[in-house]
């Protein structure tokens, strides 16, 4: 198991679900964790779980789709710890609807929360990573961004965009010792999947070769690998964690 001793890890949207699982996993490997969430008190609650598990860190409530708040968050981390070694762009949400019913605000909102936030956070941490000539950025894409999904023209677009962001940024910063990769979860048991029509979810599960939904820990394990020194020669890649739903 790779160690994250002396690593400062910022995970957006880590107040619950996959983000919190990543925080707990990396804290268990020795990382100092910065939890973040837009909901008041959620980042703090997640940090308390990190501390209860023997870790430590900082909790910051911020809207990561807002440039000013992102800059303030990163400044707080740098002022506190002097560095950011790992950024996990995990913040995201859904507003599903068929395109004939989806309004422009629903489209723009998802692009802003899911994709622009990752661009803003990456931009904010790049300079301190470049100065250190070390960094790991892991972006949360989705199987929906690789194969598309009915009722998710906004969400699928945002997650496909995360793949483009990952590849472009990996080319920009690779010479500075910074790797940029993406994880593309499939159907993972989270609050978001619980909001889906369960009959549809059961039908979709039939197309998963492993025959089941994934767990948040499956995604956390993948992120931990890409954020580790063991993945130092991997960049610009998309790691699917979907039970074989998307191949190729």
Phi, psi angles (nearest 5°) of residue 36: -145, 145
Mean pLDDT of all residues in 146-173: 97
pLDDT classification of 88: cutoffs 50, 70, 90: very high
Q: Label residue 17 left, alpha or beta by phi (over 0 means left) and psi (-120 to 50 means alpha).
A: left
Q: Is 164 helix (H, G, I), strand (E, B) or coil?
A: helix
Mean pLDDT of all residues in 106-114: 98
Q: Look over the chain and give the mean of its residue pLDDT values, rounded to a whole number.
A: 96
Token pair recorded at residue 167 = 């590849």
- 134 as an active site residue: the answer is no
Token pair recorded at residue 60 = 């910051």
How far apart are alpha carbons 219 and 226 in whole angstroms?
11
Q: pLDDT tens-digit profile of 20-72?
A: 999 999 999 999 999 999 999 999 999 999 999 999 999 999 999 999 999 99
How far apart are alpha carbons 180 and 130 in whole angstroms?
13
Which listed residue (81, 107, 155, 207) is catalytic?
Answer: 155
Specify the CATH class of 8-237 in words. alpha beta
How far apart are alpha carbons 245 and 186 in whole angstroms?
7
Write down the pLDDT at residue 79: 98
pLDDT classification of 129: cutoffs 50, 70, 90: very high
Phi, psi angles (nearest 5°) of residue 232: -65, -20
* Number of helices and strands in the chain (H, E): 10, 7
pLDDT of 201 over the 90 cut:
no
Write down the pLDDT at residue 196: 73
Of 34, 50, 126, 89, the closest CA to residue 226 belongs to: 89
């Amino acid at each position: 198991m790779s160690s994250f001793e002396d690593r400062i890890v910022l995970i957006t949207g880590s107040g619950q679900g996959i983000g919190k699982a990543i925080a707990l996993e990396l804290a268990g490997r020795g990382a100092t964790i910065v939890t973040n969430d837009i909901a008041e008190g959620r980042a703090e609650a997640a940090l308390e779980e990190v501390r209860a598990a023997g870790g430590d860190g900082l909790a910051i409530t911020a809207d990561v789709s807002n440039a000013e708040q992102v800059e303030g968050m990163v400044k707080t981390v740098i002022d506190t710890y002097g560095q950011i070694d790992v950024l996990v762009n995990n913040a995201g949400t859904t507003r599903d609807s068929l395109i004939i019913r989806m309004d422009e605000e629903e489209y723009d909102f998802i692009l802003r929360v899911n994709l622009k936030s990752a661009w803003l956070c990456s931009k904010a941490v790049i300079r301190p990573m470049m100065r250190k000539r070390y960094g790991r950025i892991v972006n949360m894409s989705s199987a929906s961004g690789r194969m598309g999904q009915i009722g998710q023209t906004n969400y699928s677009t945002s997650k496909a965009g995360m793949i483009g962001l990952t590849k472009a940024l990996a080319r920009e910063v690779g010479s500075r010792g910074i790797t940029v990769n993406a994880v593309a979860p499939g159907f993972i048991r989270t609050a978001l999947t619980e909001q889906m029509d369960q009959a549809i979810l059961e039908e979709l599960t039939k197309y998963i070769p492993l025959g089941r939904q994934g767990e948040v820990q499956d995604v956390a394990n993948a992120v931990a690998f890409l954020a580790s020194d063991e993945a130092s020669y991997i960049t610009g890649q998309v790691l699917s964690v979907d039970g074989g739903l998307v191949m190729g």
